[in-house]
Structure 1
């Protein structure tokens, strides 16, 4: 029998860290992906199959979403720091269970904020105030740490 701590279907949340600075917890993470460009090589005299050769590897932008928290100011500070010069730090996204135990962690190379959108501040609305952060990266670190 599987315990809740081992259940892969249990709810997860995500911790984002940029060069060791904790930017807080997010309840949604989308876009962790990699795609290899593949070239077909039709070798003369070989009619049994086509050889596939790898090309460039591209990585999708990652979108992190969460309700507005006191950590939201850290994201604004990171984005504002781009004005003083582009630094491409490393990042870690850790998937955590509800009890805080680590499920898996992805290390990201050369991260750069692409966009941030804050909440609609409407006192007549009963929706949760959320923010979205989109980051680009150049790939995953070998260890994910």
Structure 2
């Protein structure tokens, strides 16, 4: 009998852009899409209304983590937008605590939308965190 993995175990995420790792992240939200639907009524058919798909929209993805040395890789990627927009392919992999893969999402035409660095407060004891938000044009294998 194969061993079962605990689905409730701690999950962390790795992000790579065109095969280049941007490190590990402990929070990921916004992996979603929505199909816009247009309703059409057919004359003489009172049993239902046609639901026709029109376009798909994809929400931005927000990744969060404590400050790491990989922050410089993120800054370099964001700075590259100034020299011309290249829309690479991104990959987000959800991993268990032991590093084994849970799920993988390929993202088409990724673009950094925003980055928020840590706030430094000498009176506070909070962990310095960063947030990266990326836009994409859909999912791939």
What is the CA–CA distance in structure 2 between the aligned matches of 1:66 and 1:132, rounded to whole Å? 7
| TM-score, with length taken from structure 2 | 0.97
Q: What is the alpha-carbon root mean square deviation over aligned residues?
A: 1.4
- Following superposition, the deviation at residue 20 of structure 1 comes to 0.3
Residue 62 (structure 2) aligns with: 63
- Following superposition, the deviation at residue 32 of structure 1 comes to 0.4
- Once the two structures are superposed, the pairs formed by residues 39-118 of structure 1 within 5 Å of their partners are 39-118=38-117
Question: Which string of whole-angstrom CA distances, capped at 9 and with x for unpartnered residues, describes residues 8-55 of structure 1?
Answer: 111100000000000000000000000000011100000001110001
What stretches of structure 2 of length at least 5 have no aligned partner? none
What is the CA–CA distance in structure 1 between the aligned matches of 2:75 and 2:121, rounded to whole Å? 21
| TM-score, with length taken from structure 1 | 0.94
What is the CA–CA distance in structure 2 between the aligned matches of 1:10 and 1:112, rounded to whole Å? 30
Runs of 4 or more consecutive aligned structure 1 residues displaced over 4 Å after TM superposition: none
Q: Does 1:22 align with 2:33?
A: no
What stretches of structure 1 of length at least 5 have no aligned partner? none
What is the CA–CA distance in structure 2 between the aligned matches of 1:7 and 1:90, rounded to whole Å? 30
Q: Does 1:31 align with 2:40?
A: no
Residue 8 (structure 2) aligns with: 9
What is the CA–CA distance in structure 2 between the aligned matches of 1:123 and 1:20, rounded to whole Å? 37
Aligned residues: 141
- Following superposition, the deviation at residue 124 of structure 1 comes to 2.1
- Following superposition, the deviation at residue 121 of structure 1 comes to 1.5
